[in-house]
Amino acid sequence: MSSLGLALPLFCGVWFVYIRWICNKFYSRPPGPKPIPLLGNVLQLPIEFQERTMMKWARQYGPLVYARFLGRHTIMVNSAEIMQDLFAKRGAKYSDRPPLILMNELLGWSPSSAFLPYNAQYKRHRRWMHDALASKTKLLEYRQIQKKETCILITGLMTTPEDYVSHFLRFTAGSVAEIVFGHTVGSVDDTYIRLSEKATKATAEIGSPGSMLVDFIPILKYWPTWFPASDWKRKALAVRPTIQDMINAPYNMVKDQMVLGQAKPSMVSKLIEENSQKKEGLSVQDEIDIKNTAAVLYGAATDTTVNLLVAFLLAMIKYPEVFKKAQEEIDRVVGPDRLPEYEDRDSLKYLNAVIKELYRWHPPLPLGIAHFSMKEDTYQDCSIPANSMVVPNIWAMTQDSNLYPDPEEFIPERFYETESADSQLDLKNPYNLIFGIGRRQCPGQAFADAGVFYAISNMIATLDISRIRDDNGDEINPPHAFKSGLVHHLLPFQCKIKPRSQRVVKLVVNSLESLN
């Protein structure tokens, strides 16, 4: 038989399978951009600002979008309702993580709880985090720490306002370091703060976990660093040692202090003590789990909260009428003789709306962290294959003009009459989106939200924030511009920050002295 005679039946067989199985399965999946043979939709997804492309696809194909990157099935969720249906109501199917090549293998974050599969190790990490940050008793205990760090923050902003990013970093890292490691941060030049800043910033700028092409096309991890278009891999390998230092250094500090009998109570010292009392003692795996749980709490909480506080500063100089209205409310509710307390929050209706709008206007993790479908599923008559990467496009959800008219603008009034953050059913409230939904929801969200409240309420109460002027005397209104990546880091901008009066300076100094 000729080669043509052998090839023709083979071709017909392949074509039959393609038509009867692959096409039928494909057309029952959610709609999405048309793929090309073999590559799928690889060439249609840019390296940067992938959330914008995914939102364009959502506008064209609907809120649930399917794409294929070589052999990787990918489902893009652009609706809060769908995210809740899949991640919360069907959490048994969608709580896993995909094999995140960039984060786990190249950067070395494994076994970070944020990127672990939904297994016993992840549940162990999450239980530890919940015990440390999520119980009401613990949250009340931490109020004193947050109040003290807030006073230090305000003092720094009054003294060297141009260093606002460093002051935000010190505020956030100081609060978390005290709780996780029992470490008191002395200044913005603290060794562990700088390690965390360098590691998390580099991680965020390299790319979103589950959205970099290497996660869609795992074979790219073998891409030689001397090949063209390999800058992403060189950056990942360059930052890996810093990430390892960030994971190991503070843990080793706590262990050394425990040997000397000088360790302060902390999450890490407690876990070391508990696991050392086991019959077999503290194992290598115990140490790996403890140090990685601590690192993700310290690193993730620090970077995202700093980013939110910088975004707040930008919003206040872009929208001075919002700042003035929030200041008037605090003056009326709190008065001139003390600083805002968490107990004032229920009475600060407009300030709560400002915080909600901040979460919506600048969600720190635009694509969240990808989930992984553990079983084949059907949703709204669409087939979702098992082992699909499921990407929550939180940025698209918060930019939905049907829910939020003029989404590019900062308009707290849109939340002035809505339900409180306690309502988990209120999906229009961005508080219930930016921290995730379901079994992967951030366990430290209440602590982080309290920190944001303390910082913002006290900045409004004690500071005047305004635009700078150019050489012609005209005000400079900076754009809402940010870098692409896991976290939307804002581009640098200048502003004018000064104490409202000498009275508030004395008030902050006296408050700090009383907390020491």
What residues form DSSP beta bridges with 55? none
What is the mean pLDDT of the segment spanning 292-305?
86
Report the pLDDT value the prediction gives residue 413, as an integer from 0 to 100.
96
3-state secondary structure of 371: strand
What pTM value is reported for the model?
0.89
Report the pLDDT value the prediction gives residue 219, as an integer from 0 to 100.
81
What does DSSP assign to residue 378?
E
d(CA 203, CA 199): 6
Report the pLDDT value the prediction gives residue 26, as an integer from 0 to 100.
53
Going by pLDDT thresholds of 50, 70 and 90, the confidence category of residue 421 is very low
Instruction: Retrieve residue 2's tokens.
Output: 């000729």
Instruction: Retrieve residue 471's tokens.
Output: 């050489």
**302: Cβ–Cβ under 8 A, 6 or more apart, which residues?**
169, 172, 173, 176, 196, 197, 200
Domains of the chain, by residue range, sit at 25-515
pLDDT above 80 (res 171):
yes
Report the pLDDT value the prediction gives residue 1, as an integer from 0 to 100.
45
pLDDT above 70 (res 25):
no
d(CA 89, CA 97): 17
3-state secondary structure of 172: helix
Going by pLDDT thresholds of 50, 70 and 90, the confidence category of residue 20 is very low
| C-beta of residue 189 within 8 angstroms of C-beta of residue 43 | no
Report the pLDDT value the prediction gives residue 418, as an integer from 0 to 100.
57
| C-beta of residue 394 within 8 angstroms of C-beta of residue 431 | no
What is the mean pLDDT of the segment spanning 220-231?
83
Closest C-alpha among 212, 229, 252 to residue 105? 212
Closest C-alpha among 362, 379, 355 to residue 450? 355
Report the pLDDT value the prediction gives residue 221, as an integer from 0 to 100.
87
pLDDT above 70 (res 222):
yes
Cβ atoms within 10 Å, residue 487: 23
What residues form DSSP beta bridges with 496? 466
What is the mean pLDDT of the segment spanning 156-162?
96
d(CA 429, CA 357): 9
Q: What is the mean pLDDT of the chain?
A: 88
Closest C-alpha among 471, 472, 492, 473 to residue 481? 492
Instruction: Retrieve residue 266's tokens.
Output: 């902390």
User: Which ranges in 367-413 belong to alpha helices (H)?
Assistant: 394-398
Report the pLDDT value the prediction gives residue 18, as an integer from 0 to 100.
45
Render pLDDT for 389-419 as a digit per residue (tens, 0 to 9). 999 999 999 999 999 999 999 999 999 875 4
d(CA 425, CA 431): 11
Least confident span in 24-28, 193-197, 299-303: 24-28
Going by pLDDT thresholds of 50, 70 and 90, the confidence category of residue 3 is very low
Instruction: Retrieve residue 109's tokens.
Output: 């974050």
Render pLDDT for 230-251 as a digit per residue (tens, 0 to 9). 887 888 888 899 999 999 999 9
Side chain identity at 168, as an amino acid letter? F
What is the percent of the chain where pLDDT is above 90? 65
Report the pLDDT value the prediction gives residue 318, as an integer from 0 to 100.
97
| C-beta of residue 286 within 8 angstroms of C-beta of residue 293 | no
Instruction: Retrieve residue 301's tokens.
Output: 């909480």
Least confident span in 274-288, 293-307, 371-385, 447-461: 293-307
Report the pLDDT value the prediction gives residue 66, as an integer from 0 to 100.
97
Alpha-carbon 149 to chain mean position? 22
Between residues 413 and 223, the one the model is more confident about: 413
What is the mean pLDDT of the segment spanning 296-307?
85
> 305 phi and psi, to 5 degrees?
-70, -40
3-state secondary structure of 469: strand
Render pLDDT for 198-220 as a digit per residue (tens, 0 to 9). 888 778 777 665 556 787 777 88
Report the pLDDT value the prediction gives residue 114, as an integer from 0 to 100.
87
Q: Where are the beta strands (DSSP E) in 61-203?
A: 64-69, 72-77
Report the pLDDT value the prediction gives residue 46, as an integer from 0 to 100.
86
Class (C level, CATH) for 25-515: mainly alpha
